[in-house]
Amino acid sequence: MRGGWRWNAGRPAQHAKVEQCLSLEVGGLAKAGILDGRRCDWVWTNTDTGKRLGSIGVQGAHAAVVLSYTFDAQDVWERVAIERTPCHYGGSRPWFNCPRCGARAQNLYFAHGRFACRSCHGLRYRSQSEDDCGRSWRKQRKLEARLGENWRRPKGMHKATRTKLLEAIWRCEEVREDALAAYMDRVGFKGW
Contact indicator for 10, 4 with CB cutoff of 8 Å: yes
Do 70 and 141 have their domain in common? Answer: no
C-alpha 73/C-alpha 79 separation (Å) is 19
Do 77 and 145 have their domain in common? Answer: no
Domain termination site, one of 95, 125, 155: 125
C-alpha 44/C-alpha 46 separation (Å) is 7
Q: What is the pLDDT of residue 1?
A: 37
Distance of CA 150 to the CA centre of its chain: 29
Do 183 and 151 have their domain in common? Answer: yes
pLDDT tens digit sequence for 61-106 = 879 999 998 888 888 899 999 999 999 999 999 999 999 999 999 9
C-alpha 99/C-alpha 109 separation (Å) is 11
Structure-model confidence comparison of residues 116 and 74, the more confident one = 116
Q: What is the pLDDT of residue 83?
A: 94
Distances 179 to 88, 89, 126, 150, 172 between C-alpha atoms, Å: 47, 49, 20, 26, 11
The model's confidence at residue 171, banded by pLDDT at 50, 70 and 90, is very high
Do 117 and 44 have their domain in common? Answer: yes
Do 67 and 27 have their domain in common? Answer: yes
Long-range contacts of 157-165 (CB under 8 A, 24+ apart): none
